Structure 1
Amino acid sequence: MRLHRNLCFAVIDGLHQIFNENEYADKVVQQLLKRDKRWGSRDRGFVAETVYEIVRYQRLYAEIANVKAPYDRDNLWRLFAVWATLKGIKLPDWKYFTETPTRKIKGRFDELSKIRKFRESIPDWMDDLGVRELGEKIWTEEMAIQNEQADVILRVNTLKTNKKDLQLKLQSEDIETEFLSDHPWALKLTKRANVFKTEAFKNGWFEVQDASSQLVADFLDVKPGMKVVDACAGAGGKTLHLASLMENKGQVIAMDIYESKLKKLKVRARRNGVHNIELKVIDSTKPIKKLYGKADRLLIDAPCSGLGVLRRNPDAKWKLEPEFIENIKKTQSEVLQQYSKMVKNGGKMVYATCSILPSENQKQVENFLNSEDGKAFKLIKDKKILAHKSGFDGFYMALLEKKTENT
């Protein structure tokens, strides 16, 4: 592979924004890909994949290069040189690469690869936490897969089409997909492509949604005609899935504390042909209290550490702090206590996270069931998905039922 200056400069600029200006990697990459209209898919792929790879392995590369954050531009080039050397790419004779110790880089890599926190490039505190909660074996396997590139998974919008027709339509646009067993609405891309430019996407035939995430709406056991609340809807991937499972009948109330996210959901709903969604901003306790005892089904896709989706958000490893995880656990507990009151007697709710930590998952459900409000519920079933076993995102979901008055 030959390195091109303009592409390498884009990578360095992106890394500067992510590491030194604390910007989100996905947003930075989106901006970078608009930088030069002459770039082809290979150029864009190089920029995106190289940025993500260096973000993923920041700690390992920094240790090999003997540099520390915040990184000046020379140090960012050193990180880049480590990446290129380990990829077997011949470094050009640019000033940034003079005196790059190629042999030393490879030797240092072999040495550090024996230590998990360097090999998988994670902070000490996160490594300690993972071992404490999941044990050495599971944590080691989980972190290894979290450094692999995630597959692109589509969820068919059954309000507009079916999986087979979607597959054929995408095939006609030169995008090959395959079915996934145990995931009734999922198609996996066999090769990465920009699916957002397809006619099928513009016509609302699918959404991009990981296979594990697609299981959550189904877990809630919704039926057409029900009143369903998605209490932490965000931009609405699961809301739209709920609406399609309900065949556009009944009502889905999508709630979130961020109005901007609900506005995105409005646009997506229009494209999906969904018209049974009502949007509500949680700007006080009022919207929640108004729904006490009224929901047939409630989805709490709770805010969490996101440790199950590091493949998609590798920069989260460097943005997360131990205090954040402690605080988010308090939020999860409060949300469960307060939002669960929206479920009517005999109704059901799902508590879900994209975390793999038992303290955010099983423990939260257990604590809730032992609380005063939780005594009105019983656990029907739960599902723990680990990325190294499923090949998809790490997730947790628990289905609880509110007892009727006489039980």
Structure 2
Amino acid sequence: MAKSIPASIKASSARELALHVLRDVFGSTQRGAQESLEYRAARATLPPRDLALATELAYGTVKMRRLLEWYLRPYLQERLHTLPEPIRELLYLGAYQLLIAGGIAEHAAVFETVSLARRLGHRGTAGLVNAVLRRIQRERPAPPQPAAFADPDEYLGVVYSYPTWIVRAWRERFGERCAEILEAGNRPARGALSINTLRGTVDEARALLAERGLTCELSTLVPTVLLPVDGRFTHALEVAEPGRWFLQGETAALAAHLLAPRPGQRVFDLCCGRGHKSLQLAALMADRGELWAVDNHAGRLQALSEAAATAGVTCIRALAADLAAPWPAELQQADAILLDAPCSGLGILGRAPEARWRKRPEDPARLAAVQRELLARALGVLAPGGRLVYAVCSTDQREGEGVLEVLAARPDIHEERRLLIPPCLEGRDGFFLAVLTRG
């Protein structure tokens, strides 16, 4: 019987840390890969180089799970799913090192993976891992070929490692660009920094980052967002310059830019989460006016209040409310409303390695009903002459154009603009956004 790995056990190597993450993601705890990696890395004593390797192995093995299963199945058949959990995950991890990851010495990949199997299993399971990995190393199985699949979406799902229903949805939505999107989603997402212009200009922020050795370029979507030219932005930047800037996806920042609230206005940020868009809106308002940031999670609102204080923002009013229930008296009428509605998150699969395996085909239709209700109610409190931006980090038609069908009952609402941003391309998240105004 395989030995379990208690949460308190420290990883002593990159591969062991990656194994812990795989078990957290696909085991009973169902943790996110990033959450697991951060938790376990903090308890390990690995040098930066080994931590980087652990991150690559863990994230890559999670993302490429379907392709890895396709490679492993001829050697194990149905036994793959009946093996003890740590042994099964070690086989995925070993196959990833041999067949997909670049720059890893094959002898080290096999030796260290088998050594872990010996520690966590017994002689028989360690022998199985050794035999399978050495056969893979010797035979170098060919990648999947289209002719072997009756369904082209099934082929793309295997070769790029996504559920077939997601492949089909993106092919129907984006046509010939589908394969490009799938491939891009397997690369690391590109981070972005949203600059707090209440604390300084974008050029000043760019100069500060250059002093830290970070070369940046200005986003072509949002004039207050900087993108890394080489490397990635990390949380350490927020710690180093509190309130000066914050990490945010480039397309997520676009919603506040499209709303463009003016100083002195009354603004609602509905479903604000941790409030990055609220901070953007406050800067656009020059911190003058009334900005109600609304969410149903007290912890997120507390984080927003702390971030606002650090950023020097005073116009934000954090309000805990369930927007599915009757709205509180504070939410009566607004000059501008940002509704970043709860959604399936199908546009941000590149940000969380495990996300593609946790989404369900019924998610878009289920959430579209919630989105339609929220949009209808938000339009009901939009003042004459006011502007509303509807945004979802999903590219599913039901959560985008389908939700805008509520406008049929509101002839006083004019649609100024709508944008559909494909997921993953140029490192961006996928979003649907619509700019609406009331006559």
Q: TM-score, normalised by structure 2?
A: 0.83
CA distance in 1, matches of 2:358, 2:430: 19
Show the counterpart of 1:84: 97
Show the counterpart of 2:224: 185
Show the counterpart of 2:143: 109
Deviation at 1:261, TM superposition (A): 1.2
Deviation at 1:201, TM superposition (A): 4.3
Q: Which range moves more in the overlay, 350-359 or 113-122? A: 113-122
The answer as to 2:273 corresponding to 1:259 is no
- Distance change >3 Å, CA 9–CA 349, structure 1 → 2: same
What is the identity, as a one-letter code, of the residue corresponding to 2:38? Answer: Q
Show the counterpart of 1:341: 380
Measured against aligned partners, the alpha-carbon deviations of 1:135-165 in whole angstroms (never above 9, x if no partner) come to 5423333222222111121111101012222
What is the identity, as a one-letter code, of the residue corresponding to 2:406? Answer: F
What are the equivalent positions in structure 2 for 1:119-198 lying under 5 Å apart? 119-132=159-172, 134=173, 136-192=175-231, 195-198=234-237
The answer (yes or no) to whether the contact 2:189–2:424 under 8 Å persists in 1 is no
Show the counterpart of 1:29: 37
Q: What secondary structure sits across from 1:384 in the alignment?
A: strand
- Distance change >3 Å, CA 6–CA 292, structure 1 → 2: closer
The answer (yes or no) to whether the contact 2:278–2:293 under 8 Å persists in 1 is yes
CA distance in 2, matches of 1:318, 1:116: 15
Q: Any stretches of 5+ residues in structure 1 without a counterpart?
A: none
The answer (yes or no) to whether the contact 2:191–2:250 under 8 Å persists in 1 is no
What is the identity, as a one-letter code, of the residue corresponding to 1:144? Answer: E
Q: Which range moves more in the overlay, 300-309 or 18-27? A: 18-27
CA distance in 1, matches of 2:324, 2:313: 27
The answer as to 2:421 corresponding to 1:385 is yes
Deviation at 1:104, TM superposition (A): 6.8
- Distance change >3 Å, CA 111–CA 237, structure 1 → 2: same
The answer as to 2:61 corresponding to 1:48 is no
Show the counterpart of 2:17: 10
What is the identity, as a one-letter code, of the residue corresponding to 2:430? Answer: G
Show the counterpart of 2:130: 98
Show the counterpart of 2:394: 355
* Identity %, equivalent residues: 24
Q: RMSD over aligned Cα, in angstroms? A: 2.5
What is the identity, as a one-letter code, of the residue corresponding to 2:107? Answer: L
Show the counterpart of 1:300: 339
- Distance change >3 Å, CA 104–CA 343, structure 1 → 2: farther
The answer (yes or no) to whether the contact 1:386–1:395 under 8 Å persists in 2 is yes
Deviation at 1:345, TM superposition (A): 1.4
- Distance change >3 Å, CA 377–CA 105, structure 1 → 2: farther
CA distance in 1, matches of 2:353, 2:391: 21
Q: Which has the larger radius of gyration?
A: 2
Q: Which range moves more in the overlay, 97-106 or 21-30? A: 97-106
- Distance change >3 Å, CA 385–CA 193, structure 1 → 2: closer
Aligned pair partner of 1:369 in 404, 407, 417: 407
Deviation at 1:5, TM superposition (A): 5.8
- Distance change >3 Å, CA 344–CA 188, structure 1 → 2: same
- Distance change >3 Å, CA 16–CA 225, structure 1 → 2: same
CA distance in 1, matches of 2:63, 2:200: 37
- Distance change >3 Å, CA 285–CA 124, structure 1 → 2: closer
What is the identity, as a one-letter code, of the residue corresponding to 1:81? Answer: G
CA distance in 2, matches of 1:274, 1:46: 40
CA distance in 1, matches of 2:209, 2:398: 41
Q: How many residues align?
A: 395
Deviation at 1:198, TM superposition (A): 3.9
What is the identity, as a one-letter code, of the residue corresponding to 1:368? Answer: V
Deviation at 1:129, TM superposition (A): 3.1
Show the counterpart of 1:19: 26
CA distance in 1, matches of 2:82, 2:31: 15
Q: What secondary structure sits across from 2:362 in the alignment?
A: helix
CA distance in 1, matches of 2:62, 2:271: 28
Q: TM-score, normalised by structure 1?
A: 0.89
The answer (yes or no) to whether the contact 1:62–1:68 under 8 Å persists in 2 is no
